[in-house]
Amino acid sequence: MNDKTEGIVLQTLRYGESSLIVKVFTRDFGLKSYMLKGAFARKSKYKPALFQNLNRISYVEAGRQKTASLGYLKDVQLALVYRSLPFVMDKSAILMFVGELLGKTITEQEKNVDLYDFIARSMQWLDLVESDYANFPLYFTLETTRHLGFYPMSNYEAGFCFDMMEGRFVHDVPLHPYSLDPEAALLLSRLMGKGIDEACRQPLNVVQRRVLLDGLIAFMRLHAPVLRGFHSHEVLRAVLG
């Protein structure tokens, strides 16, 4: 393969003393894994910082050995240089949250251009915006459920609860514990179907954001079991004010 591939780094794992295993969600080929030999060596051509979570990179896949399951990278470059994400503390916390969310939910190798473009657009928006992004984790989590196939049904009516197991709004409180009360369900309904700018301008206080984010994470855990062990949303308690 000689053509450039574009991808978003989802996870890196140190391998041995000097190498990295890099998981990349590519636009054209889905999830791919690569070995980067000597990344921590003093004279390494490609430093580990190039493969930080959610960096958008372009590269050439150098092929796979017959006996190995990992490919190799060459001609690696940043496809987009973030201006603020790595340097603004609040945005860095959101970056960590998004990275863990995607790393635990994107597990299939199938191509998903819509999901890739959604991630790329959202992260570029967050990088460029200077204020009014405290709702971003809510918007991103909710929209991710759309691309994973279990977006909530748009059947809200006044006074309804949200049944997480059914993925829809209901009149009566479910017998199981996985639901949002009418107040939180109303707030969720106001986020649904909104673009990123409008969603991030929705008036929410810190308590409402925390309730909604905890609810959305619980909803995702029910429908994407690989999300077990997810912890970075707790860091966002310092961001959601």
Domains and CATH numbers, the chain: 5-78 (2.40.50.140), 89-238 (1.20.1440.120)
Q: Long-range contacts of range 76-85, CB-CB < 8 Å, 24 or more positions apart?
A: 76/46, 76/50, 78/50, 79/6, 80/56, 80/120, 80/124, 82/55, 82/123, 82/127, 83/127, 83/128, 84/127, 84/128, 85/54, 85/123, 85/126, 85/127
CA distance 44 to 76: 12
CA distance 169 to 158: 10
- Work out the pLDDT band at 233, boundaries 50, 70, 90: low
Query: What are the backbone dihedrals phi and psi of residue 187, each rounded to the nearest 5 degrees, phi first?
Result: -65, -40
Output 230 or 129, whichever has higher pLDDT: 129
CA distance 170 to 61: 49
- Look up the pTM and report it: 0.91
Query: What are the backbone dihedrals phi and psi of residue 44, each rounded to the nearest 5 degrees, phi first?
Result: -60, 135
Query: What are the backbone dihedrals phi and psi of residue 96, each rounded to the nearest 5 degrees, phi first?
Result: -65, -40
User: Stretch 161-182: mean pLDDT, rounded?
Assistant: 97
pLDDT at 241: 57
- What separation in angstroms does the CA of 12 have from each of 63, 107, 227? 19, 14, 18
The one-letter amino acid code at 122 reads S
The one-letter amino acid code at 176 reads H
How many H helices and E strands in the chain?
6, 8
pLDDT at 67: 42
Segment among 68-82, 175-189, 211-225 with least mean pLDDT = 68-82
pLDDT for residue 4 is more than 70: yes
Which of 207, 209, 222, 206 lies closest to 174 in space, CA to CA? 222
pLDDT at 61: 87
pLDDT for residue 225 is more than 80: no
Exposed, middle or buried: residue 40 (CB in 10 Å: 0-12, 13-18, 19+)?
A: middle
Name 195's Cβ contacts closer than 8 Å, sequence gap at least 6.
none
Give the length of the chain. Answer: 241
User: Stretch 106-134: mean pLDDT, rounded?
Assistant: 93
Over residues 45-97, the pLDDT tens digits come to: 888 889 999 999 999 988 664 444 688 888 899 999 999 999 998 999 999 99
Number of neighbouring beta carbons within 10 Å of residue 76: 18
The fraction of the chain above a pLDDT of 70, given in percent, is 89
